[in-house]
Structure 1
């Protein structure tokens, strides 16, 4: 099963974030390096949050309809509720 590009980008961003945290925890960075690492960490965190939010919106619910399972995109379900 191949991963799509977005999931790879999320994994890469998460790996980079973990490396930044480890570098900062080691205490070997100068103040300037720490500030740059913190700034990069904030950027990576936002990218991860965006990717997770997009993934969450694509989650599908299984709904039983007439004895059969039907998939419903959560975005469609929320759009229908907001239209009422």
Structure 2
């Protein structure tokens, strides 16, 4: 029997990502530790992005299921300089 997938905790993952970034910005880590932290940060970023995409898709499906509601593509209004 396959194991049940553990629910993703977006807020926990985002908090961990913030801790990783803060630790790396301090610049006090040896190279090997920095690489491990970077790998963790990339993994957390991807997981958070996936969770956000899934939430956006759920909202779009819910809006499409109601008659009379028009869906529009999500457009980020913030001026982010970070592209993932």
Query: Into which bin does the TM-score normalised by the smaller protein fall?
Result: 0.5 to 0.7
Distance 1:33 1:11 in 2: 24
Greater helix share, structure number: 1
* Alignment correspondent of 1:38: 38
Residues 14-72 of structure 1, C-alpha deviations (whole Å, 9 max, x = no match): 0000000000000111100100000000000010011001100111338664xxxx6x9
Match of 1:52, SS?
helix
* Alignment correspondent of 1:80: none
Q: Give the total of aligned pairs.
A: 61
Gaps of 5+ in 1: 73-84
Gaps of 5+ in 2: 1-6, 72-84
Greater strand share, structure number: 1
Provide the TM-score with structure 2 as the length reference. Answer: 0.63
Larger radius of gyration: 1
**Aligned-residue CA RMSD in angstroms?**
2.2
Provide the TM-score with structure 1 as the length reference. Answer: 0.63
